[in-house]
Structure 1
Amino acid sequence: MLRDVVARPRRDEIDAGADGRSRRSSAASAGRRSWAPLRPWGSRYHVCYGHARSRHRARRHGGDGWVVAAHRRPSRRETSASQGAAPATKRVLRAPVREETRSPDRQRVTRDVVVTHSTRLRRGQLGARPYPSRAIAPASRLSARSPPAGTHVRTTQRSPVRFGTDIATVSLASVASDPSPLRTSFRASYAEGVVSEFFGACAGGAILIAWALHLGASPLAIGLIGALPFAAQVLQLPGAWLTQAFGPKIVAVSAIAASRLVWLPMIALPFVPLSAGTALHVFVAVVALAAVFGVVGNNAWTAWMGELVPSAIRGRFFSRRTVYITIAGTVASLAAGIALDALSARGFKGPSLGALAAVACLAGVVSVYLLRYQHDPHPVRARERRDWRVLIVVMRAAPARPFLWYLLAWNGAVALSASFFSFHMLSNLRTGFAIAALHGVAVAAVRIISAPFWGRAVDRFGARPVLVLCSFGIAAVPAMWLLPTPAFLWPLALEAVLSGTLWGGHGIAAMDLTFQLSPRAERPFYLAVFATAGGLGFAVASMLAGLLASQLPTRFDLAETWTNLHVLFMLSALARLAASILTLRIQEAGARDVRAFVGIVVRGATAALLPRRVAG
């Protein structure tokens, strides 16, 4: 690993004069370039730069590459007469590098990149620490950044080149200063994620339930509304075909724009004199269309980002984007909940919902503009014909079949209660929209905090033991909803911590197993089949739960006062426990034993919670 890089130019190499022009020494003017080596200590990759006739210098210093150019580019401060700063000389090193990395399915990926790095020298400063200028360039720009004639470049590096810091840090730092399509796309993607969270806060979650309650929806209708986004997962396969036929950017921008602008009728719905049934039908139609377009658009967006973001910085990019959108989602959800509570208390619930729909549509317009601003790495692509018979092969594959049945059963068990938690908080516990939004924020925050631990556990022990532990633990989450009452709400805090922790590990383990069980060639179809199975299980169970809740009495006494939703919570807990047993049938090569993993987790938790004994 490259830990330290220091450029050490010789004293007779460059003399930055007071007039701002660099003067070479007699040795340099005579045609003999005597560049000092760029020598990283403690690494297998050494870069030296000099003239092609001085190749012995590279061997002497253990170098693999050679250099390139030296030129002067004064900064803004240096060009300002009022500053009076000494002129600077900037030396630039560019070298094509072949980068070899490992994909999530352990396949070797090789690509050619160009590493460019520069050192700025001031008068009297003969040694300077280099800073990255443009760390990575696409292979398509290789010819434009190749060294000039007469230089020699030879690289044998097998891992990404790093100048002083990690390649991901260098790459993202270079994006901030490199006027390239990649830089602008990254910034636009960060901003688009933030704006999309404002759309979700004003047109989803607790606000969606508020619309349903305002329009007089029954528990059956609420179950149907909650099932629509998951029932739309059956469109994953047609969405994959559209993405392949027209390209991911076109499909993503068009579908996401449609899914967000379809909310325009909801702005005027509170002010139009419609019957309660007609208004509810309009609302359900809007939610259904938004779900359909959202599934197609999100799948195309995922494929687009997979092509746009380099593999070497993909993890850092998505983690940074997750931080931004989590903060934005927290602020937007709390603001929407507080505003709706304040205006509803004054009798303006309908107009406030229409105003939130207007904010959602405005955020949708801005997000579409930011999507169009992002770069398409492959604007012209050849159409490929796919053999759709591979879907039958996927469903018959022995390694994937247990996981497929688990997804079907697990999502069905989760759907029995997932659509009714917010409804229970608002109608039975009477918490208000602000508390409901705060509960969702707490779950998301705990999930993000626990994600690094689960990620290390999956890498060390395998995805299967993590999935087994989290599945059995999540089975207890619906049962905790039997405890809160309008005067006794603190169990919701414990439920948020438990749910956020276990769902964080479940999501990471399920995603890792999805990649491991799907061969690389047929992976899009495997992913589509997995998502379709989970979506169908959730949609069918959610509709059945709504039908059951509408048939049960609203309140009845059974040792204590129960509601119809309490029955759904208990059934969901039992169904999750039964579905968790299916995880024991999943096989993963190289995974540790479940009992050993559980023992390690229990011992670690005990050591963290119990106070340490002081010797003596």
Structure 2
Amino acid sequence: MPEQGQQQEKEAILTRKSLSHSIKDGACYSLMVGFGESFFSAYAVFLRANTLVLGALGTVPTALRSILQIYSERLIAVFGSRKRAVTTFAFLEALMYLPILLAYFVSDFSIPALLIAVCSYWVFSGLVSPIWSSWMGDLVSVNERGSYFGRRNKINGIATLASMIAGGFILRWFGRGSTDEYLGFVLIFSLALVCRIISVSYLMRQYEPAYNVTSAPAFSFRSFLAELPRRNFGRFTIFSSVMNFGVFISGPFYAAYMLYDLHFGYLTYTIISAVTVLVKVFSMPVWGRAADRYGTRKVLVLSSFLIPSIPLLWLFSSDVGYLIAIQLIGGLFWAGYEIASFNFLFDSTSPKKRVTCLSYYNVLVGLAALMGGLIGGLIARHNALFWSSYFLVFIISSVVRFLAAFLFVTSLKEVRAVEHIPYRKLFYTIVTTMPSMGIVYKLVALRKRKKGKADEEKKVAGFNEFD
């Protein structure tokens, strides 16, 4: 028994250290996202990609990586552990920034070359996803998922925001023009590569709990499809697929709308894009605590009925200040949806079947994204109802998102015992908690600074209240 206790204590220490390493891994990974994939669409615009290509670039790689995730369980068996599989694919993901940059030099073939390179990038990224999720699911306890991932996502958001803004300034500094502009992309993509390699070094330091490696998935894809309407996780998969379909009808085209139709510069485009990340930084921990206390389903349902309004708001003005306000609202809504969706993946799957479930889930969600992006591209290319061809894309995206929420999200079941709270009160709690936390923090910090300063003045004067 003493030996068993010592082993449990040792594992607890390793787990705490691993969760700390995971925070650092996430921060470095997010720096890569901000410097790298956040500018894939802008890079494609620089290479003169058309609307249909932008739609394909935003969806084909995602769909391909999702389909290949079917083999995640087999890949764990090939590598012998989740840790080795994750670190290998993450390193290969980093190296893909090299062919992405080299696409510039193949002139007439630059767009196909970019598409192939980005597909490879997302394939390696996608192979990491379900295996890493299974690994982290074993490290983070059930009752701490919302708060831990909320805190981790907050740090990730700060890193993404900082690198996105820095990337925008770098591109602006190099200016518009073939050679100079390309050098800007060389710099930011090189920084992305380095950040991901540092991220891999933290992944290598993490502890991996015992895991039964099998060469075959826990159940077949056909069985998964047959059980979709009858299982809680299956209904969540249907909902997420339809929602993702609606999101990707418009998702790949905001960059083109801002850069082509509104003629924004890279810095303006980056600032508008970064606002969403900024709001997520401060709101994700609030949503995470709400999910821990009131249930993941409650947060998911509320946020799912809020996000359909976002694309419609883009129709009413092209003013930069107005678009920033939309992104502020959108960031708040998306933070709730993302933290709830992520936690629901863990809540509704068992550790033994998690890799298989997440792999199949990502296949369907990825295929839905592919169809959404391609349909959005066709709509944008072949309609002339508004001054911008993207307006109809935004409208249809909103309608599909609302249908996903109305028809599917309410059928999900909460899997934990949680406190009850009406949706209106939950929304009010989130909206009022976010700013008040910042105000309270600043007031407390200011009071401490004043008290510290007063104490110093007393000491300098030669007396102290405890003398």
TM-score tier after normalising by the smaller chain length: 0.7 to 0.9
Q: Is the 8 A contact 1:468 1:583 kept in 2?
A: no
Q: Is the 8 A contact 2:101 2:186 kept in 1?
A: yes
Correspondences of 1:430-449 after superposition (within 5 Å): 430-449=263-282
Q: Scaled by the length of structure 2, what TM-score is found?
A: 0.79
Q: Residue type of the partner of 1:571?
A: I
2:355 paired with 1:355: no
1:137 aligned residue: 10
1:249 aligned residue: 83
Correspondences of 1:271-420 after superposition (within 5 Å): 272=105, 274-276=106-108, 278-307=109-138, 318-345=149-176, 348-377=180-209, 383=214, 386-389=217-220, 392-393=223-224, 395-396=226-227, 398-400=230-232, 401-420=234-253
Q: Is the 8 A contact 1:226 1:419 kept in 2?
A: yes
Q: Residue type of the partner of 1:344?
A: G
Q: Deviations over 1:245-275 (max 9, x none)?
A: 42112211211111110221344444x3x33
**Structure 2: 5+ residue stretches without partners:** 435-467
CA distance in 1, matches of 2:115, 2:92: 16
CA distance in 2, matches of 1:312, 1:601: 19
Correspondences of 1:105-116 after superposition (within 5 Å): 112-113=5-6
Q: Residue type of the partner of 1:297?
A: V
Q: Displacement, 1:499?
A: 1.0
1:481 aligned residue: 314
Q: Displacement, 1:513?
A: 3.7
2:96 paired with 1:262: yes
More strand by share: 1
SS of aligned partner of 2:231: coil
Distance 1:563 1:183, change over 3 A: same
2:413 paired with 1:588: yes
Q: Is the 8 A contact 2:304 2:409 kept in 1?
A: no
2:448 aligned residue: none
Q: Please point out which of 51, 56, 59 is paired with 1:227.
A: 59
Q: Is the 8 A contact 1:483 1:491 kept in 2?
A: no
Q: Deviations over 1:316-368 (max 9, x none)?
A: 76555434433322221111101101212466112222233333333344333
Q: Displacement, 1:588?
A: 1.6
SS of aligned partner of 2:315: coil
Distance 1:284 1:331, change over 3 A: same
Distance 1:315 1:410, change over 3 A: closer
Correspondences of 1:40-59 after superposition (within 5 Å): none
CA RMSD of aligned residues (A): 3.5
SS of aligned partner of 1:264: helix
Distance 1:579 1:308, change over 3 A: closer
Q: Is the 8 A contact 1:199 1:363 kept in 2?
A: yes
SS of aligned partner of 2:175: helix
CA distance in 2, matches of 1:221, 1:528: 27
Percent identity over paired residues: 23
Q: Is the 8 A contact 1:476 1:573 kept in 2?
A: yes
**Structure 1: 5+ residue stretches without partners:** 1-94, 98-110, 116-135, 139-170, 176-180, 610-616
1:212 aligned residue: 44
Q: Deviations over 1:22-57 (max 9, x none)?
A: xxxxxxxxxxxxxxxxxxxxxxxxxxxxxxxxxxxx
2:287 aligned residue: 454
CA distance in 1, matches of 2:430, 2:209: 46
More helix by share: 2
CA distance in 2, matches of 1:606, 1:236: 37
Q: Displacement, 1:546?
A: 1.2
Q: Is the 8 A contact 1:413 1:575 kept in 2?
A: yes
Q: Displacement, 1:393?
A: 4.8
Count of residue pairs brought into register by the alignment: 428
2:27 aligned residue: 194
Q: Displacement, 1:416?
A: 0.7
Q: Deviations over 1:127-181 (max 9, x none)?
A: xxxxxxxxx422xxxxxxxxxxxxxxxxxxxxxxxxxxxxxxxx8xxx7xxxxx6
CA distance in 1, matches of 2:352, 2:190: 44
After superposing the two structures, state which structure 1 stretch, 238-247 or 302-311, moved more.
302-311
Q: Is the 8 A contact 2:103 2:111 kept in 1?
A: no
Q: Deviations over 1:204-257 (max 9, x none)?
A: 11x212211111101000001110343021222212321244211221121111
Q: Residue type of the partner of 1:252?
A: V
Q: Is the 8 A contact 1:461 1:597 kept in 2?
A: no
Q: Residue type of the partner of 1:227?
A: T
CA distance in 1, matches of 2:322, 2:99: 39
CA distance in 2, matches of 1:328, 1:511: 20
Q: Please point out which of 536, 542, 554 is paired with 2:373.
A: 542
CA distance in 2, matches of 1:240, 1:402: 23
CA distance in 2, matches of 1:312, 1:598: 22
Q: Is the 8 A contact 1:307 1:377 kept in 2?
A: yes
CA distance in 1, matches of 2:225, 2:2: 41
SS of aligned partner of 1:482: coil
Q: Is the radius of gyration larger for structure 1 or structure 2?
A: 1
Q: Residue type of the partner of 2:362?
A: A
